[in-house]
Chains A and B, each alone.
Chain A
Amino acid sequence: MAYYNTGKRGEKKDDESAGNRYANPDRSVALQKARIFNDTPINVSKCIPVATEILYMLNQGEQLTAKEATNFFFAITKLFQSPNPTLRRLVFLGIKELCSVAEDVLIVTSSLMKDMTGKEESFRAPAIRALCRIVDPSMLQSIERYMKQAIVDKSPSVASAALYSSLQLARGPGIEIVKRWGNEIQEATNSDNPMVQYHALGLLYLIRKSDRSAVNKLIAKFTTGRYLKSPLAVCLLIQIVAKIIQEESTLGITTASHFDFLETCLRHKNEMVVYEGAHALVNLRHSTGRDLGPAISVLQLFCSSAKPTIRYTAVRTLSQVAMTHPAAVTACNMDLENLITDSNRSIATLAITTLLKTGNESNVDRLMKQITSFMSDISDEFKVVVVQAVKALCLKFPKKHSLMMTYLATMLREEGGYEFKKALVDTLITIVEDNVDAKETGLTHLCEFIEDCEHVNLAVRILALLGREGPKTRHPSKYIRYIYNRVILENASVRAAAVTAMAKFGAFNEELRPNIMVLLKRCMMDQDDEVRDRATYYFYVLDSHQAALYNQFILTPLQVSIVSLERALQTYLTTPAEEPFDLRSVPIAAEPLTVEEKRPRSEAREERAQTGAGGGGAKDSAKATTLLDSYVEQFKNIPQIAALGPLFKSSAPIQLTESETEYVVTCIKHTFAQDIVFQFDCINTLNDQILENVFVNVESQDPAFVINGTIHCPKLECNVKGTTYTRICLPKDDSGATGTFGCTLKFLVKDCDPATGEVDSEEGYEDEYVLEDIEVTLADHMQRTIVPNFGSAWEEFGEENENTGTYALNQYKKLQDAVDNFVTFFGMQPLDRTEKVPDDKNSHLLVMSGVFRGNFNVLVRCKFILAENGVAMQLQVRSDDPDINQAIIESM
C-alpha cells in the first residue's frame, strides 16, 4: 500500500502511514481492488481489508458521484455469497453508507429479506436495519408482516433493531403503516431487555403523541410500579410527562400524579434519571410554581461529585435557575464556591456566573477578578453568559456600577463576535437607562465604542439611546461631536440615525438649537435620500420655534406597534374611503417601544445563551406585541364584534374556575370605544359528556351597564377549547366605569361514550355552573402611552382641566407598596422612573400618562406621603374631558 504515499511529504508521512495502513485513500485504486470481490470462492482474508478500506475512504468524507457509488455498491453486494460473519457485517454497513447516493439499491431487497428471516442469528438485526434504510413506503407493505414478527422476536437485538428502524420509518411517510403495528409495539414494551423497552416506549409514544388521552394512558401504565427497567426509558418517560404537564397547564389542567412521578424520579438509583427528573422540574417551574427545593438539593449533591460531567450538569442547571429564581440557588453557594477553581473551565465559568447572580455585594469584586483572568480562554457563548451575569448584578447592586462599568468597557475593547458585543451593548444600555448615577459614564463608554464599531445594528441602537438620554444630561454638548462624527464617517443607515439623534438634542435644549440647525443644514446635502429627508424634516420643525411641534414630532415616539400600523394601512388601502387615514384607529401598543419592551427580549437571549442553539424564548416577546393584533384578526370573522369599531385594549386571561374542575373557564376582557366584550374560553374536561349551546349568563347590580347580546358556543367536546362572547354596553356618560359582574355558565348536557365520543341519546338536559365574578377596573379603560416631556405636557392641559382628590391609605406601610398598587390600578405608564421609590424617603411623586377609551389623553400626578398610620395620597388628574377626570376620581 505504501506505493502511493511515499515521498510526498517526507518523514512525517512515513511516520503517519506506519500507524495507519489505510492512509490516503483513493477512489479509483479502491475500485480496482474491489474487483477481488468477484473471485470465487471468496477470499475472506483479502476481502475484509479491502471492504474496510472502502468504508474508511467514505468515512474520511470522500464525495462519490452516483455512478461511482453504484459501482461500489454492486461490488460489495457480491459478498453476499460469503458466510463469514465479519465480512457480511461489513457488507451491511457498506449498503447503509452507499444507499443514499447509489442507484438501483432496491436490487438487494430480496437478499436482505432472506437474511432478515434466516437462521443466522447475527445477520438478522443488521439486515433489518439495512433494509429499513432502503425501502420506500410502497414496498413497506410487503415487508410489514416480517417487521411485525421482528418487533416481538425473542432475540433482543432483532426486536430492538426492528423498533428503532421503525422509528426512522415513522419520521417519514411510513408513519401510517407503522401505526398499524401498535399491538406488537405494546407487547415489546413488556420485554425483559431494557433496551427493547426503551425503543418500544419511544416508538409507542411517537405513534400516539397526537392523541392526548392515549398518551395519558401510556403514562399511567408506565409510571405505576417499577415497570421500566431501563434508565434510558425512564428518562424518556420523564420527558413525555414534562411535555404533557406543560401542554395541560396551557389548558389550565394540572394532574398531581404527574408531579409525584417526577419527584419519585429524584430518588431513583441511577444518576441519569435523577438528573433528568431534576431538570424537568426546574424547567417546569414557570408554568406551575411548584417548590424547587427537592430538585435543588439533588443538584447540590451533584456539585460535589467526582465525575466532571455530573458537576457540569449540576452547575449548568443551577445557573439556569439562578436567572429567574436566584434565591432558590443561594442554598448551594458554598458548593458553587468550591467549583470556581475546577480544572474544567466550563464548570468554573458557570459556577462564577451563577454566583454572580446569587452572591452578595461583598464577593462581587473577587469573582470579577477571577473571571477576567480567564476571559480570553473561554468561548463566545460563555462570554455572553458572563455579560448577562454582570448585567443582573448591576441591576441588583446599583452602587457597584462604576466597578462593573470598568469591566464592561474593557470587554468592549476586546476581540469578540457580534453576539458578544451585542450582549455588552444591551447591558450598557440597560444600565444607562436604569441607573441615574451611571448614565454619564455609560454614555461616554458607548460613544467611544461607536467611534470604532463594525456592527451597523449596534451603532444605530446606541445613537437612538444617545438621542433619548443625552439631552437630559448635564453637558449635552459633548455628545454632539461623537454623533456628528458618525455623519461624516459612516454609511447611510448610521448617518440617518445620527441625524435623528441630533434633532432630539435640538428639540430638548434651547441653547443648542442654533448649532444643531447648522449641522442639520449640512446634512441636507447628503447623497442618501433618507438622510436628506430626515435632515430637512427636522430642520423645518426646529425652525418653527414652537415647543408643541417639537414635542409631538421629534420627541414623542410612535405610540402604536409597527405590526398593527402595517395591518391598519393595508386594510385602509383595500377598502376605498373618502376620509384620510386616522392614526387613532390603530390600536395603541400594549408595551411602548422603550426599556420595558427590551427586558423580556434580553432575558430571552439570556435563555438562549444558556441553552445554546435551542430556545424559542425570543418568540415570546414578539408574541406579546402581536397579541392584540391576533384578537383583531379573530374579531374580523365575527361580524357582531367587528361592528363595534377598533379594539382598544384586551386584558390578560383571568381564571374563572379552579384549574381542576369539570369545566375550566377563562375570561379575556376586550374594551371598545363604547362597549366591553367578555370572551369566555371554556374547556370541558369530562369525557362522558358533550355540552351544547354553551353561553355565560352575565349579571350586573348596576343598571348603567346593559348586557346586550351573547354569541353562543354551539358544541363543546371533551378537551376542545370553545369560545362564547358576551357584549356589555358601557354607560354613555363615563361616570360608572367600574363594576362587578356575576357569571353563570349555562349549557345543555348530552351523555356520550367516553371512548368513541358518540352521543348516547339525543335528549339532553339543561344545567348550569357558577363561575367567579369578573371585575371591570379602571385599568381596562386605559392604555399606556409615553410622554417624553411630562412637565410641558402637564402645563399644556392647564389647571382648568384638573380634578383633585385626597385619600388616606392606611392599608399600606411602605411607599413602594402603594406606588406598585396604583400603577396596576390605573393601568397607565409611569414616567421618568417614578415607579421606583428611592430608599429611606418619606414622600414620593408618581407621574403617569395614558389614553382613556375613546382616545382621550390623561395625565396623573400622585403625591404620596408616609404618615404614622399609613400612606396619604393626593391625586391630580388632567385630561381632555372633565367627565373622565370625574370618572377616575370616582373610581378610587
Chain B
Amino acid sequence: MDFPAMEPNMYTVKAMLIMDSDGNRLIAKYYDDTFTTSKEQKGFEKSLFAKTSKASGEIILLDGLTCLYKSNVDLFFYVIGGSSVNELMLVQVLTCLYESVQKVLGKSFEKKVFMDNLDSIFLIVDEIVDNGIIVELDSSAVTQRAAIRTDDQQSPMGEQTVASVLLAAKEQLKWSLLK
C-alpha cells in the first residue's frame, strides 16, 4: 500500500501561543481553521496546558497536532503544527520566538514585564510567522525588523533629515522619562 503523495507545503505553523503559569492565554495566533470557534481554541489550550505544564521534554502529539513547548518562570511558549510537519522546523520557530521575547525582556523574564512590553511582543509574533508561513527564524533579524529598542542596539538613523533626528531624540527622551 502506498502513502498518499504529500503535497509540498509551506504552511508549517498552525498556531503560536504564549500562556501564563495558570494557563491563561496571553498571546494566541491561530493561522488556519483547525479550531473555528474561540471556545474550541480555549478548550485545546486548556488540555494542552494540562498535559505540558508539568511534563519534561519539549514535544507532544495532542489531538493529532504536533505541539512544541518551552517555559521559563511564569511564561509558557507553544508552537503548534500538523501531524506530518517537520518537527525540527517547529523547534526553530519556537527557539526564535523564545529568543526574541528574551531580547525584549532582557534580564527580567517574567509576566509583568512581558505585559508591559506587549506592543513589542505583538510585533515580534507578527514578524516570525505570517499566515502559517515561516517569515524569519533569526531572532536578531526579527527584533530588528520589529524596530524594537533592545539594550545592545540603537535604532538605525539611515537617511533621515536633521529634523527627524531631533524628533527621534525627543521621542527617546520622552520614553526614557516614561520608563
Can you list 20 A-B pairs, Cβ within 8 angstroms, ordered by A?
Answer: A16-B22, A20-B111, A51-B119, A52-B119, A61-B25, A86-B123, A86-B147, A86-B148, A96-B126, A232-B137, A243-B5, A272-B89, A308-B59, A313-B86, A344-B55, A381-B61, A607-B3, A613-B83, A614-B64, A614-B83
B131 in the interface, Cβ–Cβ < 8 Å? Answer: yes
Which one of B123, B167, B175 has the highest number of Cβ atoms from chain A below 10 Å of its Cβ?
A: B123
Name B25's closest neighbour in chain A (CB-CB): A60
Name B41's closest neighbour in chain A (CB-CB): A61
Contact of B10 among A236, A286, A310 (CB under 8 A): A236
Question: In chain B, residues 19-72, which have Cβ atoms closer than 8 Å to a Cβ of chain A?
Answer: 20, 22, 24-29, 38, 41-42, 51, 55-66, 68
A345 in the interface, Cβ–Cβ < 8 Å? Answer: yes
Interface size class of B (residues with CB under 8 A): 35 or more
The main secondary structure of chain B at its interface with chain A is: mixed
A308-B57 CB under 8 A given contacts A90-B122, A164-B131, A614-B82: yes
Stretch from A121-129, A546-554, A778-786 that touches the partner:
A121-129
- The reply to whether A19 and B20 form a contact with Cβ atoms under 8 Å apart is yes
Cα separation A240 to B131 with both chains bound (whole Å): 21
- The reply to whether A615 and B4 form a contact with Cβ atoms under 8 Å apart is yes
- The reply to whether A83 and B147 form a contact with Cβ atoms under 8 Å apart is no
- The reply to whether A379 and B61 form a contact with Cβ atoms under 8 Å apart is yes
- The reply to whether B38 and A63 form a contact with Cβ atoms under 8 Å apart is yes
A199-B118 CB under 8 A given contacts A272-B92, A309-B91, A611-B84: no
A604 in the interface, Cβ–Cβ < 8 Å? Answer: yes
Interface size class of A (residues with CB under 8 A): 35 or more
Cα separation A613 to B164 with both chains bound (whole Å): 54
- The reply to whether B135 and A61 form a contact with Cβ atoms under 8 Å apart is no
A122 to chain B, nearest CB (A): 5
B174 in the interface, Cβ–Cβ < 8 Å? Answer: yes
- The reply to whether B115 and A382 form a contact with Cβ atoms under 8 Å apart is no
- The reply to whether A286 and B61 form a contact with Cβ atoms under 8 Å apart is no
- The reply to whether A614 and B123 form a contact with Cβ atoms under 8 Å apart is no
Stretch from A275-283, A358-366, A390-398, A525-533 that touches the partner:
A275-283
A86-B57 CB under 8 A given contacts A167-B133, A283-B3, A313-B87: no
A340 to chain B, nearest CB (A): 14
B116 in the interface, Cβ–Cβ < 8 Å? Answer: yes
The main secondary structure of chain A at its interface with chain B is: helix
Contacts of B87 in A (CB 8 A): 275, 309, 312-313
Cα separation A209 to B118 with both chains bound (whole Å): 41
- The reply to whether B112 and A89 form a contact with Cβ atoms under 8 Å apart is no
Name B28's closest neighbour in chain A (CB-CB): A59
Name B67's closest neighbour in chain A (CB-CB): A346
A83-B167 CB under 8 A given contacts A236-B8, A346-B57, A347-B57: yes
B124 to chain A, nearest CB (A): 11
- The reply to whether A308 and B119 form a contact with Cβ atoms under 8 Å apart is no
Contacts of A65 in B (CB 8 A): none
- The reply to whether B145 and A157 form a contact with Cβ atoms under 8 Å apart is yes
Which one of B88, B146, B178 has the highest number of Cβ atoms from chain A below 10 Å of its Cβ?
A: B88
Per-position binary interface string of chain B over residues 136-163, scored 1 when its CB falls under 8 Å from any chain A CB and 0 otherwise: 1100000001111000000100110000
Name B21's closest neighbour in chain A (CB-CB): A19
- The reply to whether B10 and A167 form a contact with Cβ atoms under 8 Å apart is yes
Contact of B2 among A60, A168, A287 (CB under 8 A): A287
Question: In chain A, residues 393-442, which have Cβ atoms closer than 8 Å to a Cβ of chain B?
Answer: none
B113 to chain A, nearest CB (A): 9
- The reply to whether B61 and A93 form a contact with Cβ atoms under 8 Å apart is no
B130 to chain A, nearest CB (A): 6
The 7 closest A-B pairs by CB, nearest first: A612-B83, A344-B57, A612-B64, A61-B38, A239-B8, A613-B64, A616-B4
B9 in the interface, Cβ–Cβ < 8 Å? Answer: yes
Cα separation A689 to B22 with both chains bound (whole Å): 69
